Structures are given as structure tokens and as C-alpha cells.
Amino acid sequence: MRISLRGDHTPIRLRLGRIERYVLIQQLRALGVALAVIAALVMLIDFVEISRGLGSDTDLSGLRILGLMMLKSPAVIVQLLPFVFLFGTLSAFVGLNRRSELIAMRAAGVSAWRFVLPAAACALVLGILTVTAIGPLAASADGLFQRERARISGSVAGSADREAVWLREGEGQRQMVIRAGRQDRANARLLDVTFFTYATDPEGRRAFSERIDAKSAALSAGRWRLVDAVGAQTGQRAMRYATLDLPSSLADEEAFERFARPQSTPFWSLPGQIQRIEDAGFSSTAYRLRLQQLLATPLMFAAMSILAAAFSLRLMRLGDLAKMAVSAVVLGFAFFFLNQASAAFGSAEVVPPFLAAWLPAVLTALAAFTLLFYTEDG
């Protein structure tokens, strides 16, 4: 990467030379191969899992199982993308080393930073693209898979509509807890439903204010339409209503479905989802953690690329290809499991979500830069 400086207030321009372009092409090819291998393994495992799970409970055709696999696998592949950058970059630089191209570059006086930093920048850009475009598509597909699996399982069990439904909604000054004895999905109604209303004072304390029992409740256009309802406020006599409308902050489909899992919520929808969950009085820790993990993803990709490249640079000095390659893979797995452990601590609210999400990526980056400094500058 070349930086040209001029004294006539001309903007600084960054330009890739032939060496950087060549290394980037080799890296992208290796990343494509690593992605293909990992994607094939994930899809094979998911196909077998869906066949043994849903396929054993109901008569699903091979084409239907393949379609469910295509909905489920992208989210798993996106989660394993750090390994794609680790294995892909390691493979690319090991290949350059085996062909003595790295040795020729270093002998010509080319600094390792000149071809490692463009590789890291490429990983950073791909990470941003993953978070903003590819990840939301994978999350939406995973959410569709979860709904299809629940629908198939419910049709097999035959008891989905007879299960009790619990909902909670509201805003700062008003909260409602809703319990329905059963649901009528065909007509989009909750049956034998009870609304418990709580008022919140300025100090944040909640007090019960009203109970309403209704034969049925349907959610439409931001309001609940209750039929054959009986309601009573605290300290007052009960009143009967043929129909009663109550304001609602829920979307129409949320009367029959729980909030989507954090992994099934697209990146662009997470802030709004967090706000809705907090307005309903639930904890949004898992969703805040997911948002911070996605924001830290580009840094993790870049750190994995630098880590793999740094180990590859040491190969030509130590002459022990297998040992250093295994060390890079082991260290990459160690950081991946650190990420999972940190996420578990964040979900349990042992550490703040921001720290739980960013700590593994920052530690990986620090380790990668430390190893690269040691390798390049001694």
C-alpha cells in the first residue's frame, strides 16, 4: 500500500501496488475455498439433523428437507466465518511461502506490513459487508426456518392451538400482562383471555390497576378488540362490555409468536427490537449482546487474518510448517471459545454486553499485532 504525500494540499491517496494486488487475489481465492469447504460441512450436518429430527416426525420430501436446510445453514455459516478468514488467510500465505514468493518479497526489502495490512483491510471490508448485508439475510432465513419448524412440529403434535399464551406489552407508564387459555390461529384470535393492567409511578414502582376477562381478543391496527368482556378497576364494580378496544404496541403477528431469537433478528432490526422488548418490561440483554457482537465482527475478521498471516511469516524462519500451522489453528479455536464463553457471561449479566462482545475481538487483535511485531521487527 503506497501513500503519496504532496505539499500543495493535494489529498493523500492510498494505492495498491502489484505485490498487494497479487497477495489480495491469492487471499480471496483461498477464502473462497475455505468458505466452500466449511459451507459444505455445515449443510451436510444440517441436512442430516433435519432429516433425523423433523423428517422422522412427519413425512417430509427430500426437496422440502433441502429447502429447510438452505434456510438454516446460512446463519451457522456466518457464525463460523472467523474460521474462514483464519484458514483461508493461513492457506494463502502458506502457499506463498511454499513457492518461496514470501522469501523473494522479503529479500527485495518489502516489509510484511505492506502485504499483511491490505489483507486485514480486505477482511475488515468483508466483515462490514457481512454485518450489513449478508448477516441480515441469514438472520431472516433463520427466523423463517424457526417458524417453519414450529409450524411442522405443531401440526405433528396437534396441540399448538391448545397451549396457553402469555404476552406482555406497554410503555413507560402502563404495562399489560395478557394470558390466553388457547388461540385460534385460523381466525387470528386469542380465546379465554385475561388482561392484567399495571400503572407505573414516576419512581418506577408498578401497581395493579385493572383486570379484564374476555371471551376472545383479536389484534389489528394497533388495538385489541375484545368480545364479551368483563372488566373491573381497583376498588370499583365490574362492568360488562359487548366489545371493548384497548390500545396495543404489538405488531399483529406478535399475538401468536414470541419475540424472535437474537440470532434470528437482522442487524438493522435489532435497535427497534431492543426498544420494543424494553417497553414491554423484558430484559434485552441478549439482544444488546448480539448487537455489540455484530459491531465487533469486522474487527474479529481482520484480527483472524493478521493472526494467520503472522504465523505464516514465521514459517520461513523456523522451517516447521506443520507445527506453526497447528499452532495457528489451536490459537484461533482458543479465541473462538473465548468468544463463546464471554457471550455466556454477557447473557448471564455477569459482565456488561459491550465488554462481553468486544473483549474477544480486541484480545485477538492485540495478540495478532503482538505476534506480527515480534515476527517482523524482532
Q: How far apart are CA 338 and CA 221, in angstroms?
A: 45
Residue type for 360, please?
P
Q: How high is the pLDDT of residue 13?
A: 43
Give domain limits for the chain.
Answer: 15-155+285-377, 172-248
The residues pairing with 233 across neighbouring beta strands, listed in sequence order, are 210
What is the pLDDT of the chain when averaged over all its residues? 81
Q: How many helices (H) and strands (E) does the chain have?
A: 11, 8
Confidence of residue 329 (pLDDT cuts 50, 70, 90): confident
- Whole-angstrom CA distances from 266 to 154, 262, 367, 377 are 25, 8, 30, 42
Q: Are 328 and 82 in contact (CB under 8 A)?
A: no
Q: Which helix (H) or strand (E) holds 186?
A: none
Q: Which three cell numbers stand for residue 43?
A: 449443510
Q: How high is the pLDDT of residue 118?
A: 86
The backbone torsions φ and ψ at residue 284, rounded to the nearest 5 degrees and listed phi first, read: -105, 20
DSSP structural state of residue 262:
G
Residues 77-90 have pLDDT tens digits of: 999 999 899 889 88
- Whole-angstrom CA distances from 102 to 167, 217, 310, 311 are 61, 70, 12, 13
Q: Which three cell numbers stand for residue 106?
A: 522479503
Q: Which three cell numbers stand for residue 2?
A: 503506497
Q: Which three cell numbers stand for residue 188?
A: 387470528
Q: Are 89 and 309 in contact (CB under 8 A)?
A: yes
- Whole-angstrom CA distances from 207 to 60, 136, 179, 197, 348 are 50, 40, 18, 9, 28
**pTM, rounded to two decimals:** 0.74
Structure-model confidence comparison of residues 185 and 268, the more confident one: 268
- Helix, strand, or coil here: 129? helix
Q: How far apart are CA 360 and CA 295, in angstroms?
A: 13
Rounded average pLDDT over 320-344:
78
Residues 165-209 have pLDDT tens digits of: 777 777 667 788 888 888 776 677 888 999 998 887 767 677 888
